[in-house]
Amino acid sequence: MLGLCGWAAVAAAALQTRQPRLIQALGTSALAYGLGGGAIRHGDPLLVDALKHAFHRARPADYPTSFAFPSGHTTAATFICGTLLFVLLPLAVQALEEQQREQRLQPGVWLQQAAGWLEESRWWLWGAAVLLTAASRVAADAHWCSDTLAGACLGVALTAGTLQLCTRQAAGDGNGR
**Does residue 177 form part of some domain?**
no
Chain center to CA of 50: 20
Q: What is the greatest pairwise CA distance in the chain? A: 61
Residues 6+ apart with CB under 8 A from 120: none
**Does residue 117 form part of some domain?**
yes
**Does residue 12 form part of some domain?**
yes
Are 150 and 69 in contact, with CB atoms under 8 Å apart?
yes
**Does residue 160 form part of some domain?**
yes
**Does residue 29 form part of some domain?**
yes
Sign of CA dihedral 61, 67, 70, 71: negative
pLDDT per residue of the chain (177 residues) written in tens, 0 to 9: 666 777 787 877 777 788 888 888 888 888 888 888 776 666 777 888 888 889 888 788 876 677 888 888 899 899 989 988 998 888 888 777 777 777 766 656 666 777 778 788 889 999 999 999 999 989 988 888 999 999 999 999 999 999 998 888 777 765 444
Residues 6+ apart with CB under 8 A from 172: none
The pTM (predicted TM-score) of the whole model is 0.83
For residue 161, the enclosing domain spans 2-56+66-171
Among residues 143, 145, 132, which one has the least CA distance to residue 52? 143
d(CA 113, CA 91): 15
**Does residue 132 form part of some domain?**
yes
DSSP 3-state assignment of 67? coil
d(CA 105, CA 99): 9
**Does residue 146 form part of some domain?**
yes
d(CA 48, CA 51): 5
**Does residue 176 form part of some domain?**
no
Are 154 and 147 in contact, with CB atoms under 8 Å apart?
no
| pLDDT at position 177 | 45
